[in-house]
């Protein structure tokens, strides 16, 4: 069943809600309007091979979860699903009476410490990642293997590129052989030492991802010892690839907004970090999922870049300590009752299919 087909069979929709920033009371001019909901598969589909966990529109800003998947995610205390179940009434477009059987308080547990705070940690990693990308941008030109090679020289080490320049050598004129018992360490030779033949060079070309070895005449004395820092090169390659992907996929409007407030972190990520942390604490203290945020002003101040990144990190650490204490003292169960969730699923399916 496609999104369009579901919309044509509205009788299969059990819950339809406005979600995201509007439900959170955090919408501002230009905010998108997202929707989430719950549907139930036609009875014949339940008995067949085709099972569906969720259905979404092309832009993925409208997502509907099948009732089985919805209840499964509730038992895992998934924040998005708990928020959907607790959507403020003014943002509920439709709610089937059978949904009244599912009560948030029956599913809240100490798992919320991991799920809500875990989602918050994800937002922090994203914010830190952007902070690093802005403050330590990578050069457009990709470094080569040669940039990670060093030569023992004058009781120390120097970059290979500097050493080659000092002696007027070209890497294509050099040859390498392994130095036994030393990882990524090589004996280095130069073409001028040969009376015939040629060395292969240190690398095969600018796109090489490793050094290459040459055949060296027996008895030839090396002119240098070289190390290739392969671990640093691998880390650089990963970060460079991630940086290029980030540049390609980043939301330019959101990125420019980040630059405009001059704080070099994704302020929207940090706003949601504190929203999730505050909600996690409220669950432990009040056994409620409070979707509509009364702390709107504080959260929007974060979004507007009115805090320094390091200050926010310190606030996160303090908040995490408070939350951990709240969960230690909470009477919430360790996890939801899976049998109760399964019984609910059976009751909802039986009740729905009997009514049509």
Residue 263: pLDDT band (50, 70, 90) is low
For residue 94, the cross-strand partners are 16
Q: For 134-277, list the strands marked E by DSSP.
A: 149-153, 156-159, 174-178, 185-190, 224-228
Of the candidates 150, 138, 322, the residue with the CA atom closest to the CA atom of residue 224: 150
Domain with CATH 3.30.460 in the chain: 1-107+336-356
For helices 267-286 and 296-303, angle between their N-to-C axes, nearest 10 degrees: 150
DSSP per residue, 1-63: --HHHHHH-GGGEEEEEEEHHHHHT---TT---EEEEEE---HHHHHSS---SEEE-TTSSEE
Of the candidates 207, 209, 212, 213, the residue with the CA atom closest to the CA atom of residue 230: 209
Q: Which CATH architecture has domain 1-107+336-356?
A: 2-Layer Sandwich (3.30)
pTM attached to this predicted model: 0.65
Residue 122: pLDDT band (50, 70, 90) is confident
Query: Quick one: pLDDT at residue 247?
Result: 63
Section 98-119 average pLDDT: 93
Query: Quick one: pLDDT at residue 294?
Result: 95
Query: Quick one: pLDDT at residue 264?
Result: 60
What would the pLDDT profile of 50-61 be if each residue is shown by its tens digit? Answer: 889 999 998 889
**Residues 303, 273: contact at Cβ < 8 Å?**
no
Residue 262: pLDDT band (50, 70, 90) is low
Q: Which residue has the higher pLDDT, 19 or 356?
A: 19
**Residues 299, 271: contact at Cβ < 8 Å?**
yes
Indicate the average pLDDT of the chain: 89
In this structure, of 90-104, 190-204, 298-312, 331-345, the range with the lowest mean pLDDT score is 298-312
Section 154-172 average pLDDT: 94
274 pLDDT higher than 70: yes
Residues near 69 by beta carbon (within 8 Å), at least 6 away in sequence: 53, 54
125 pLDDT higher than 80: no
121 pLDDT higher than 80: no
Query: Quick one: pLDDT at residue 244?
Result: 74
Of the candidates 235, 275, 278, 272, the residue with the CA atom closest to the CA atom of residue 125: 272
| SS3 assignment, position 348 | helix
Section 270-285 average pLDDT: 94
């Amino acid at each position: 069943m496609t999104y369009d087909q579901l919309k044509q069979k509205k009788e299969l929709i059990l819950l339809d809600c406005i979600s995201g920033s509007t439900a959170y009371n955090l919408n501002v001019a230009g905010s998108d309007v997202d929707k989430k909901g719950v549907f139930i598969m036609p009875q014949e589909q339940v008995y067949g091979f085709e099972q569906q966990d969720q259905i979404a529109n092309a832009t993925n800003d409208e997502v509907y979860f099948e009732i089985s998947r919805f209840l499964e995610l509730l038992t895992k205390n998934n924040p998005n699903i708990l928020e959907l179940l607790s959507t403020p009434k003014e943002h509920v477009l439709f709610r089937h009476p059978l949904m009244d059987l599912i009560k948030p308080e029956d599913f809240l547990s100490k798992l919320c410490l991991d799920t809500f705070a875990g989602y918050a940690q994800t937002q922090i990693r994203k914010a830190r990642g952007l902070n690093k990308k802005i403050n330590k941008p990578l050069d457009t030109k990709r470094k080569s293997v040669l940039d990670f090679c060093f030569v023992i020289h004058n009781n120390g080490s120097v970059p290979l590129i500097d050493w080659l320049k000092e002696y007027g050598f070209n890497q294509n004129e050099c040859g390498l052989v392994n130095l036994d018992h030393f990882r990524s360490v090589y004996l280095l030779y130069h073409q001028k030492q040969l009376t015939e033949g040629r060395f292969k060079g240190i690398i095969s070309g600018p796109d090489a991802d490793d050094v290459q070895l040459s055949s060296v005449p027996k008895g030839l004395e090396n002119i240098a010892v070289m190390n290739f820092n392969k671990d640093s090169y691998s880390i650089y390659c990963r970060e460079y690839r991630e940086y290029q992907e980030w540049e390609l996929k980043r939301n330019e409007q959101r990125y420019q907004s980040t630059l405009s407030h001059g704080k070099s972190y994704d302020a929207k990520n940090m706003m949601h970090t504190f929203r999730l942390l505050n909600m996690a604490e409220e669950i432990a203290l009040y056994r409620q999922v409070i979707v509509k945020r009364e702390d709107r002003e504080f959260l929007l101040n974060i979004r507007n870049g009115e805090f320094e990144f390091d200050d926010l990190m310190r606030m996160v650490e303090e908040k995490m300590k408070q939350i951990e204490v709240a969960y230690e003292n909470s009477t919430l169960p360790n996890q939801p009752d899976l049998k109760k969730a399964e019984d609910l699923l059976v009751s909802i399916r039986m009740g729905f299919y009997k009514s049509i």
